[in-house]
Structure 1
């Protein structure tokens, strides 16, 4: 295997930065969705009863907790992506980079659980 030239090394660092930026956008998107869930739930709780005469607003705070969970997940995504970025920089400098999906798997499973919770909540709320 031939030694890497400066252009190949620079491409690896820039690729790492693009990955960080993509994860930052993902984290922000998750947080926005959580914020909207919380604000919508609070909005429904503050509506006068006459506007909801034909519908029954859920009396639980589950949506608020789910939204807060999404906000925390978004913040964790941003933090973990930054830590992963720093770790990858260190490995690239040492020439020992090994691909790993641990962080990606963790965030994916967390979002999957939150998504299933939201789906279950919406199904239960629609049957009342």
Structure 2
């Protein structure tokens, strides 16, 4: 687990529930399914604290809107691909130092609540 460094803030988007086309079976390709997205983002918070201004903070609302638009309008065969693309959206913001994205596909397996995949990235 990558711990936040001093001067970094951690922002979490928890349990973002969306519907999209996800899967390889014919039924999955034609009927939207629920996914649950969790995002963790870290960024250097000192400028935001110093200036008390949104222009110096990480605008998580903008990132959230981009995720919603991409997932709800997308068609994905693999959960891995969806997670990778959502992570790319998060990392587009140059303020993000580290990000982790986990997406759950509820009821993907019999007797299991969900299947999830997690990917992370960070800037050097």
Greater relative contact order, per chain length (Cα 8 Å cut-off, separation 6+): 1
Q: What TM-score comes out, normalization by structure 2 length?
A: 0.33
Q: What TM-score comes out, normalization by structure 1 length?
A: 0.33
Which of 1 and 2 has greater Rg?
Answer: 1
- Higher normalized helix content (fraction of residues): 1
